[in-house]
Structure 1
Amino acid sequence: MGIKERKERHKEDLKQRILDAAKVLFLKHGYEATSIRKIASEIEFSPTTIYLYYKDKKDIMYALQKEGFKLLRTRFTALSNVDDPFERLKAMGRTYMQFALENNEFYELMFVMKEPLTYFDDVCGADEEWDDGIDAFNVLVRTIEGCKERGFFKQQQVNVFSMLVWSTMHGLCTLSLHGHMDHVIRHHLVDIVDVEQVTEKTFEGFVHLLEQLK
Structure 2
Amino acid sequence: MATQQRRERERAQRETLIVNAAREMAEADGWPSVTIRKLAERIEYSQPVLYSHFAGRGAIIDAVALQGIAELTAVFKAARTAAEPGDELAALAQAYLDFATANPALFEAIFTLAEGLTFGVDAPEVLKAAFAELYAVFAPLAGDRDPDAFTEVGWAAIHGLAVLNRGGRLRPDLLEQRLSILLERFARP
The TM tier, using the shorter chain, reads 0.7 to 0.9
The one of 118, 121, 133 equivalent to 2:127 is 133
Which residue among 199, 202, 212 is the counterpart of 2:175?
Answer: 199
Which structure is richer in relative contact order (CA contacts within 8 A, separation 6 or more)?
A: 2
Calculate the TM-score normalised by the size of structure 1: 0.70
RMSD over equivalenced CA pairs, Å? 3.0
After superposing the two structures, state which structure 1 stretch, 17-26 or 64-73, moved more.
Answer: 17-26
> Does structure 2 retain, via aligned residues, the 8 Å contact 1:64–1:106?
yes
2:62–2:116: 8 Å Cα contact kept in structure 1? Answer: yes
Q: 4+ residue runs of structure 1 moved beyond 4 angstroms?
A: 2-13, 24-31
Question: Does the 8 A contact of 2:93 with 2:158 survive in 1?
Answer: yes
The answer on whether the counterparts of 1:61 and 1:116 sit within 8 Å (CA) in structure 2 is no
Partner of 1:54: 54
Q: Which amino acid aligns with 2:177?
A: K
The 3-state SS of whatever aligns with 1:112 is helix
Query: Which residues in structure 2 correspond to 1:84-163 (within 5 Å)?
Result: 84=85, 86-117=86-117, 129-147=123-141, 153-163=142-152
What TM-score do the two structures reach when normalised by structure 2? 0.78
Question: How far off is 1:9 after superposition?
Answer: 6.5
CA contact (8 A) 1:93 1:169 kept: yes
**Where in structure 1 are there 5+ consecutive unaligned residues?**
122-127, 148-152, 186-194
SS of the aligned residue for 1:80 comes to helix
Structure 2 spans left out of the alignment, 5+ residues:
none
3-state SS in 1 of match to 2:143: coil
In structure 1, the residue matched to 2:162 is: 173
Deviations 1:157-185 (A, max 9, x none): 2111111111111111111222223xxx4
Query: Take 1:144 and 1:20, find their aligned partners in 2: how far apart are those partners?
Result: 33
Identity %: 22
Kindly indicate which of the two structures has a greater share of residues assigned to helix: 2
Q: 1:43 & 1:177 partners in 2: Cα distance? A: 30
